[in-house]
């Protein structure tokens, strides 16, 4: 402990706030990931099946959805936080705090994830979709038994990318009192010149990112039977 | 009653400024138990046409009648059950990479109320049928092209189809594997009384398994009939081109056209004889000598069996008096042997023309 408190004096003094901040980051990330994950997959699937060459082609619907996704993807998160604050207040009753940060996180992450899902599913061989149609599969069966199953390795890889970028976004949640490691690094580490706090925050975030990356790689490899050799 | 009846099928693809007619006024009648070949170069509209049969492609006009039922208006679950009765195999196999071989074969049965146990039993039986039972827990990426196509065949058979469409299924395979897949199709045709629609650009494949054939060019069927009648008496130039790819007559003529002994041969004396079936058994060559004092020297011969009937081509030189040769030709004609004069100068011209086109 001696060496640790020598190099990280301020960290050693504020272990509980690190535990708290880490928990907040994980909490924001996990809740957002689950909700944005469901919405993102849903919208991504809609984009694929209604899009050009989709199994349920709906040109007008696709064009509108496509534009909405593009617009929401283009808004920087820090501005999104402010812009949707009134909406956040309606939904969760407050526009300040960890819960309040989750609403803009979802709004920002969903279109990004939807686009990633769309790209992952578009990579599924059209011939396989055609074969499934020829075998009498309904559109719903094609979504669940073909698209989501054949696209799973690509979905996992995209999910890792989105999850890591989501952790990046949670760092900004501090601006609305959302807490988390990003907030700790800026408010305590940067603004009070406690550099060791900044660095320790970074290290913890890196560890979380590495863990996600490693788990993602293992899962992707396990589900990918296309590139075995 | 025909099993598949296509009546005046048109398929037009509309693009922004133009419309492309992929299939134009095609009518075909496929009987139960047929192995019906549809042959044509790529872009002839073959694949579009067969997709009309299971309505993966909507025809712009025309009727599709399967087992007496017009499937033009069926939709939703009804259409899906029509599709289950039509198996299809593809050039690139289109197996699902995320599923094992056994699960691929079981796929068509998912959601049809067949129990897991029955699905497993069926996939195992079908994999035995195509000779890949020992690979049932493998994934498609671990198999060779020929093995993948066998799995695709097993999968196509899982829902007990009455019709199997083979869409260029052997085009990505080497000649030996092609033959083994064709033999498998032939066996299924015989054992299961499965009607097969064989789409291909390889006339060899048609020749080895089909009993009927239709030749397509630019969306139209230019010739159709029984394999033997089309092979023994082709009417269309394209059909002739396709038939030439399956025998050695054209290359043989080209070799002759450059040989000193034949370069200036009188085209009335250098002839190609074509005969079918029974006529083969008559010793005509000897008869020509006995009856007309004409000797026939065989330069090249090609005999093949089309649906079990021999179809022969002989290139011969006839030697004798002018009158004798004329009478000999008439006699051959009476024996139902077709006689074509060979003009080697024309063969050379043709060859030069083709070389120019390729360059």
Q: Chain A interface, mutation test: which of B71, B75, B79, B94, most A Cβ atoms within 10 Å? A: B94
Q: Is B294 exposed, middle or buried (0-12, 13-18, 19+ CB in 10 A)?
A: buried
Q: Do the Cβ atoms of A71 and A77 come closer than 8 Å?
A: no
The CA-to-CA distance between both ends of chain B, in Å, stands at: 50
Predicted pLDDT of residue A208: 95
Say what the pLDDT of residue A229 is.
Answer: 46
Please report the pLDDT score of residue B280 as a whole number. 55
DSSP A226: S
Q: Each residue of B186-201: pLDDT tens digit?
A: 999 999 999 999 999 9
Pairing relation of β-strands B35-39 and B195-200?
Answer: parallel
Q: What percent of chain B has pLDDT over 90?
A: 57
Mean pLDDT of B66-89: 91
Give the residue from chain A lying closest to B92, CA to CA: A127
Say which of A137, A141, A150 has its CB closest to residue B97: A150
| Residue B39 contacts residue B215 (beta carbons within 8 Å) | yes
Closest of B253, B173, B247, B233 to residue B204, by C-alpha: B247
Give whole-number Cα distances, B5 to A123, B65, B73, B215, B218, in Å.
Answer: 36, 5, 15, 17, 21
Contact A138 B80 (CB under 8 A): yes
Determine the distance in angstroms separating the CA of B295 from the nearest CA of chain A, rounded to an integer: 59
The length of chain B, given as a count of residues: 359
- Residue from B57, B93, B98 to probe the interface with A (highest A Cβ count within 10 Å): B98
Q: Are B314 and B307 in contact (CB under 8 A)?
A: no
Task: Say yes or no for a CB contact (<8 Å) between B94 and A125.
Answer: yes
pLDDT at A165: 95
- CB-facing half-sphere around the CA of A14: CA atoms within 13 A: 20
pLDDT value, residue A178: 82
Q: Tell me the pLDDT band of B31, cut-offs 50, 70 and 90.
A: very high
Position B281 pLDDT exceeds 60: no
Residue percentage of chain B with pLDDT more than 70: 97
Q: Is the distance from CB of B82 to CB of B66 less than 8 angstroms? A: yes
Identify the segments of chain A with pLDDT beneath 70: 1, 228-229
pTM: 0.88
pLDDT, one tens digit per residue, over A62-73 is: 999 999 999 999
Asked if pLDDT for residue B299 goes beyond 70, the answer is yes
Burial of B52 (0-12, 13-18, 19+ CB in 10 A): buried
Predicted local confidence at residue B308, as pLDDT? 83
Rounded CA gap, A223 and B141, in Å? 13
Judged by a CB distance cut-off of 8 A, whether residue B56 touches chain A is: yes
Residue of A53, A56, A136, A138 to mutate, interface with B, max B Cβ within 10 Å: A136
| Interface check A127 vs B, CB under 8 A | yes
For each of the domains in chain B, give its residue range(s) and CATH number, in order of start: 4-233 (3.40.50.300), 247-358 (3.30.70.260)
Does B161 reach chain A within 8 Å, measured CB to CB?
A: no
Whether residue B141 and residue A133 make contact (CB cut-off 8 A), yes or no, is no
Residue B343, pLDDT score: 84
How confident is the prediction for chain B on average, in pLDDT?
Answer: 90
First and final CA of chain A: distance in angstroms? 48
Q: Is B281 on the interface with A (CB under 8 A)?
A: no
How much is the pLDDT for B344? 84
Write the residue in A146, A153, A229 that is nearest to B96 by C-beta: A146
Q: Higher pLDDT residue, B336 or B134?
A: B134
Q: Answer yes or no: is pLDDT of B320 > 90.
A: no
The closest CB to that of A149, out of B80, B98, B156, belongs to B98
What is the Cβ-side half-sphere exposure of residue A161, based on CA atoms within 13 angstroms?
Answer: 15
Q: How far apart are CA A121 and CA B135, in angstroms?
A: 28
In contact, A138 and A49? CB cutoff 8 Å: no
Instruction: Using CA atoms of A8, A14, A19, A24 in order, give the dihedral in degrees to the nearest 10.
Output: -110
Angstrom distance (rounded) from CA B220 to CA B202: 18
> What pLDDT is attached to residue A1?
59
* Three-class secondary structure assignment of chain B: CCCEEEEEEEEEEECCCCEEEEEEEEEEEECCCCEEEEECCCCCCHHHHHHHHCCCCCCCEEEEEECCEECCCCCHHHHHHHHHCEEEEECCCCCCCCCCHHHHHHHHHCCCCCCHHHHHHHHHHHHHHCCCHHHCCCCHHHCCHHHHHHHHHHHHHCCCCCEEEEECCCCCCCHHHHHHHHHHHHHHHHHHCCEEEEEECCHHHHHHHCCEEEEEECCEEEEEEEHHHHHHCCCCHHHHHHHHCCCCHHHHHHHHHCCHHHHCCCCCCEEEEEEEHHHHHCCHHHHHHHHHCCEEEEEEEEEEEECCEEEEEEEEEEECCHHHHHHHHHHHHHCCCEEEECCHHHHHHHHHHHHHHHC
B155 contacts on A by Cβ (under 8 Å): 135
As beta bridge partners, residue B306 has B309
Residue numbers in A near B92 (CB within 8 A): 125, 127
What pLDDT was estimated at residue B43? 86
A57 to chain B: which residues are within 8 Å by CB? Answer: none
- Give yes or no for A2 touching B (CB within 8 A): no
Beta carbons of A136 and B108 less than 8 Å apart: yes
> A34 is written with which tokens?
């689950």
Q: Is the ipTM of this complex over 0.90?
A: no
Shortest distance between the Cα of B206 and any Cα of chain A, in A, equals 24
Q: How far is B185 from chain A (nearest CA, A)?
A: 19
* A/B interface, count of CB pairs below 8 Å: 71
């Amino acid at each position: 402990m001696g060496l640790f408190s020598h190099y990280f004096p301020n960290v050693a003094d504020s272990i509980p706030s690190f535990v708290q901040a880490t928990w907040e980051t994980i909490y924001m990330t996990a809740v957002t990931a689950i909700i944005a994950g469901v919405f993102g997959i849903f919208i991504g699937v809609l984009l694929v099946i209604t899009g050009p060459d989709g199994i349920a082609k709906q040109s007008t619907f696709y064009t509108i959805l496509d534009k909405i996704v593009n617009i929401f993807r283009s808004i920087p998160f820090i501005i999104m936080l402010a812009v949707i604050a009134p909406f956040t207040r309606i939904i969760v009753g407050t526009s300040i705090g960890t819960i309040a940060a989750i609403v803009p996180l979802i709004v920002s992450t969903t279109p990004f994830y939807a686009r990633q899902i769309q790209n992952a599913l578009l990579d599924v061989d059209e011939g396989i979709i055609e074969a499934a149609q020829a075998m009498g599969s309904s559109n719903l069966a094609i979504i669940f038994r073909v698209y989501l199953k054949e696209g799973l390795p690509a979905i996992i890889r995209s999910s890792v990318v989105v999850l890591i970028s989501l952790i990046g976004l949670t760092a900004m949640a501090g601006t609305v009192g959302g807490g988390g490691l990003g907030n700790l690094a800026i408010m305590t580490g940067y603004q009070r010149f406690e550099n060791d706090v900044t660095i320790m925050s970074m290290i913890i975030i890196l560890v979380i990112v590495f863990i996600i990356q490693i788990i993602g790689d293992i899962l992707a490899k396990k589900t990918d039977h296309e590139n075995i050799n | 009653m025909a099993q598949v009846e296509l009546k005046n099928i048109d398929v037009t693809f509309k693009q922004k400024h133009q419309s492309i007619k992929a299939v134009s006024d095609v009518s075909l009648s496929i009987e139960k138990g047929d192995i019906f070949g549809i042959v044509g170069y790529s872009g002839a509209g073959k694949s579009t046409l067969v997709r009309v049969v299971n309505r993966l492609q909507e025809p712009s006009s025309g009727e599709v009648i399967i087992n007496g039922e017009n499937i033009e208006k069926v939709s939703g679950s009804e259409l899906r059950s029509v599709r289950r009765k039509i198996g299809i195999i593809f050039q690139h196999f289109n197996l699902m990479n995320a599923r094992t071989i056994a699960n691929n074969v079981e796929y068509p049965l998912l959601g049809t109320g067949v129990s897991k146990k029955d699905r497993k039993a069926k996939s195992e039986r079908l994999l035995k049928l195509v000779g890949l039972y020992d690979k049932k827990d493998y994934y498609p990426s671990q198999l060779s092209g020929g093995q993948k196509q066998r799995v695709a065949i097993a999968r196509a058979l899982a829902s007990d189809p009455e019709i199997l469409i083979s869409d260029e299924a052997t085009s990505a395979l080497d000649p030996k594997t092609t033959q083994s897949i064709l033999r498998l199709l032939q066996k299924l045709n015989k054992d299961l009384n499965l009607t097969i629609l064989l789409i291909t650009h390889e006339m060899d494949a048609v020749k080895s398994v089909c009993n009927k054939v239709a030749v397509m060019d630019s969306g139209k069927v230019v010739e159709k009939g029984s394999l033997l009648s089309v092979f023994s008496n082709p009417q269309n130039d394209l059909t002739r081109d396709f038939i030439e790819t399956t025998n050695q007559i054209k290359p043989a003529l080209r070799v002759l056209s450059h040989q000193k002994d034949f370069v200036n041969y009188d085209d009335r004396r250098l002839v190609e004889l074509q005969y079918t079936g029974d006529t083969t058994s008559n010793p005509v060559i000897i008869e020509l000598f006995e009856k007309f004092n004409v000797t026939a020297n065989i330069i090249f011969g090609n005999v093949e069996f089309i649906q079990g009937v021999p179809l022969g081509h002989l290139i011969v030189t006839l030697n004798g008096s002018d009158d004798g040769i004329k009478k000999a030709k008439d006699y051959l004609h009476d024996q139902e042997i077709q006689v074509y004069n060979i003009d080697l100068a024309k063969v050379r011209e043709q060859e030069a023309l083709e070389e120019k086109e390729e360059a």
